[in-house]
Structure 1
């Protein structure tokens, strides 16, 4: 089967700059870009009043000075939080970014984006729809659309229903029963797997089904070399200081 056209670079900076800056912040994107990365992965969820914003965890405690579920608070309150001090003093006061602000940063600098739809539990399908609608509006007329991914098939189904033209990828941490069929039923263009799941068999299965093959989170040279040798398409890494994306 012919693989879909693939306008994205091989190297993707995880959550902006991996662990070198506070994840999912504009500061992290800027640092990743300073290391030469031109594609970024980030996590997007919804505030209580429906504003998409960047954060990985369902709860606020690990990466902000807030408490409770991020999705339970309005954007006005979330925007006031400190999302940098947990990482280091240099980033004290760094705010949680809205998805719109990150989108504008990427678009103005010609960067590609992998949006992981990371819903608050219970609003999986709705989050997929809203994030896809925002992405379609922000990238309207652009040659390279964002890649929408999620571990939650319901979120990808929501994105598919809302904006079927946007490319989608199914995230996998295990090869659960029906993984390939699910990706195909969602009209995905890619599978994004824990890098240990890729071997000759799984790469062959994915490619035979017309799917691109991406990996997370690849932080060792031996792992990257193995994935390149297998013929995979994308590598998501924390180690923006180790890998040269221009190589």
Structure 2
């Protein structure tokens, strides 16, 4: 990606944090109602190749279904209730497809961070499929390309192979040797760390490697202020009700 970093600093985790059922269009609408112009979500593949939004490998926590989500067809997944687990107000909210999310974001001029969240064993194939779908869905919106991220290097390699023009970021929960080299080998533009990993040293290391700096999941004011003071480029939060996104 060339030019200035285009993305807003404040990013709504899974749509609206914990205020709505995660990874649903209802959550995206609520995040937008709080002023957020960028959302983060998790994308994986159905058994018949539809890219849809879900964090967990299994369905039990956030739907009324059961079993491995990636083993189900989209027809079966589309009939699940992905809202009632959160609260009765969201009962009947369906799972979202990446296509539906793209339409929503484009209609409102919003940005998106798509975390590639493969069913275990499908890392490369999921990276290919998510990037291919994203490239198609945003083909008429080259000024608002999604940021693709993953904890799985194989998924990012698949994304690089099929859609090299889409920006990528490497997610890390622990700081391991060679993280900068890993990010650059995947032609990433950013690294996304657990917020506790950022300090003056890691920020300087990332910047020296030409990488943008993002943090997850930042829900406390003291943590947010520390990251703002470090000059981070992106802060992913559940607390869309606490942090006005224009801050910083």
After TM superposition, the score normalised by the length of structure 2 is: 0.97
- The count of aligned residue pairs is 245
Report the alpha carbon displacement of residue 56 of structure 1 after superposing the two structures with TM: 0.1
Q: Which residue of 2 aligns with 1:232?
A: 232
Q: Moved runs in structure 1, 4+ residues, more than 3 A? A: none
Helix, strand or coil at the partner of 1:15: helix
Deviation per residue, 1:107-162 (Å, 9 max, x gap): 11000000000000001001000100110111113112000000000000000000
Cα distance in structure 2, aligned partners of 1:246 and 1:209:
28
CA RMSD of aligned residues (A): 0.9
Report the alpha carbon displacement of residue 22 of structure 1 after superposing the two structures with TM: 0.3
Cα distance in structure 2, aligned partners of 1:177 and 1:77:
42
Cα distance in structure 2, aligned partners of 1:78 and 1:17:
22
Cα distance in structure 1, aligned partners of 2:146 and 2:44:
16
The answer to whether 1:182 aligns with 2:182 is yes
Return closer, same or farther for 1:151/1:4 CA change in 2, 3 Å cut-off: farther
8 Å Cα contact 1:4-1:212 kept in structure 2: no
Q: Point out where structure 2 has 5 or more consecutive residues left out of the alignment.
A: none
Cα distance in structure 2, aligned partners of 1:141 and 1:183:
28
Q: Which residue of 2 aligns with 1:191?
A: 191
Q: Superposed, which structure 2 residues align to 1:41-52 within 5 Å?
A: 41-52=40-51
Cα distance in structure 2, aligned partners of 1:141 and 1:211:
27
Report the alpha carbon displacement of residue 105 of structure 1 after superposing the two structures with TM: 0.3
Q: Point out where structure 1 has 5 or more consecutive residues left out of the alignment.
A: none
Q: Which residue of 1 aligns with 2:91?
A: 92
Helix, strand or coil at the partner of 2:112: strand
Q: Which residue of 1 aligns with 2:79?
A: 80
Helix, strand or coil at the partner of 1:9: coil
Helix, strand or coil at the partner of 2:235: strand
Report the alpha carbon displacement of residue 4 of structure 1 after superposing the two structures with TM: 5.8
